[in-house]
Structure 1
């Protein structure tokens, strides 16, 4: 079982075409929305930077490891720019994405805002075949091979002070990562579509409750659904849980260190048979908002 990802890599890159969930997976998606929806760009109303690290299925050789960094800022009341860099490493493969985001926001009635976002950039895909032990390797499966591919994305993000919803497709272009005239099959990435929504209930002056949901769809794979429920205590402490449909249950915790600095942690316990062979997944994030003073209030709650 500990060689499962090396075996999978051989299948992915040399045997048949695969259609599955291929983009990065996050448990704390409510804090990392710009990664998969460019419409979120600038919605916090201040310069905001975030770093996230995720190590999945600890104990399995070659299990996924994800690093993500994003920075965003409004330029004025209507325009915003952002940058997102994400790196996924699975077994002998590494995929690094660089995307520049732009969002245009329309002010609705009251505090309602509708943001339209687009993104553009590229991915660098790398396979290190020296990490694989193959008895009869294909002549093309030698050394370290890389592939550069451009991509574009789009998204709509609607939000007010205490709720949000959005739809997006962060990678619209299909990319063939492995293709040769003598090989009848390929490994390719396909467009992923996301839907997200959340609401903040003010239970009392010291306690807020936010349920949220994220859905992911890609042709050829089952619909993926993540639901979460978190409590914010005294605008400082966050605690809650999440469930990934037919995949995992999670515990989440966070702390608002200062008015502009937030840290968070999530632990996933696998509910599939694979859970017998790993000790879970860990995810950490650090977010910094450039606020001007201790009394500055962000445009949206710190909960998203």
Structure 2
């Protein structure tokens, strides 16, 4: 009986995570780049910490909720270190991951920089059977079952003062959870991310940045996110995003101080599931330890 319900849980996980392609989904991915690409680590050139919370498909029971915290900093002329902590909850399942990142940067001509990153991750995937609504309780269907698995990732990131391109695979290894029998196996496959953006200086007080991120994983359609943001007077960010055949988003952010930035996004689902929820909400807070000599260089960079 327990194995039967394990199978049901796995099916639920697959259904709920299909649109996210098994990994966490963000509307404000352009501010959370280190989560996908270890090569981004330290590219802000200061100590940078970020906290993000996302609640998806509000009003739908068991809908995904994501909490993410990351911190990164240069540790020399060429090297940088970062740490990322992720908590993903979907129905009775939860995945908690801790990732350590390292990047090495090579200085190119003018302001061009090439960064190569590697990461190591420990994931703890668990199922809480007490959250299942079982009509006929089973004595074996109790408690929490969990499994820890390691993973590694790589990433390449190149940028100048007004553009960036990145390619990464944050989890290279395929992981099987609860694989004591074939019927209860849940697999997490490698995801490939290609991202890029460009900042146009329209005038001294207005910048425009289109950006995109393409996600690919075996057995699922390619996911394409595109966004367009305006930065007004280096303070207020307003924009919109579109997740191909999935959702449209409104984005807003405000630079409270040179080192403190807050942002909010609202998603409206364009698929049939949009009829059964009130959209998705996402908020982030980023703090950076910036000296006055650094503030003029980093704030206008806009990524």
SS at match of 1:72: strand
Report if aligned partners of 1:92, 1:131 keep a CA contact under 8 Å in 2.
yes
Report the CA distance between 1:130 and its aligned residue: 1.2
CA distance in 1, matches of 2:264, 2:166: 24
Q: Distance in 1 between matches of 2:299 and 2:103?
A: 16
Pairs within 5 Å for 1:15-164: 20=18, 21-135=21-135, 141-164=141-164
Deviations 1:7-55 (CA, angstroms, capped at 9, x unpaired) = x985352699889500100000000000010000000010000000000
The alignment partner of 1:296 has SS state of: helix
Report 1:1-304 matches (<5 A). Answer: 11-13=8-10, 20=18, 21-135=21-135, 141-181=141-181, 183-184=182-183, 186-293=185-292, 296-299=295-298, 301-304=300-303
**What count of residue pairs does the alignment treat as equivalent?**
296
Structure 2 runs not aligned, ≥5 long: none
Residues 301 and 97 of structure 1: CA distance in aligned 2, closer, same or farther (over 3 Å): farther
Q: Deviations over 1:81-115 (max 9, x none)?
A: 00000110000011011000000000111100000
TM-score, scaled to structure 2? 0.92
Give the whole-Å Cα distance in 2 for the aligned partners of 1:60 and 1:138.
Answer: 26
Larger RCO (CA under 8 A, 6+ residues apart): 1
Q: Single out whichever of 293-302 and 18-27 deviates more from structure 2.
A: 293-302
Measured in 1, the distance between the counterparts of 2:9 and 2:133 equals 15
Task: Specify whether residues 166 and 16 from structure 1 end up closer, same or farther in structure 2 by C-alpha distance, changes over 3 A only.
Answer: closer
How far did residue 137 of structure 1 move?
A: 7.8
Q: Extract unaligned runs of 5+ from structure 1.
A: 1-7
Change (3 A) 1:277 1:144: same
- 8 Å contact 1:162–1:300 — kept in the other structure? no
Q: 1:140 Cα deviation (Å)?
A: 6.7
Contact 1:124–1:147 (Cα < 8 Å) also in 2: yes
Q: In 2, are the aligned partners of 1:230 and 1:241 still within 8 Å (CA)?
A: yes
Bigger helix fraction: 2
Displacement of 1:296 in angstroms is 2.8
Aligned residues: CA RMSD: 2.2
In 2, Cα distance between equivalents of 1:141 and 1:225:
39
What is the TM-score of this pair, normalised by structure 1? 0.92
> Judging changes above 3 Å, is the alpha-carbon distance between structure 1 residues 253 and 212 closer, same or farther for their aligned structure 2 residues?
same
Q: Could you tell me how far apart the structure 2 residues matched to 1:148 and 1:47 are?
A: 30
Give the whole-Å Cα distance in 2 for the aligned partners of 1:71 and 1:176.
29
Q: What whole-Å deviation, never above 9, does each CA across 1:156-186 have from its counterpart, x for those lacking one?
A: 00100000000001111111112123x4451
* Pairwise CA distance, 1:292: 1.6
Q: Secondary structure at the match of 1:275?
A: helix
C-alpha distance in 1, partners of 2:165/2:137?
Answer: 48
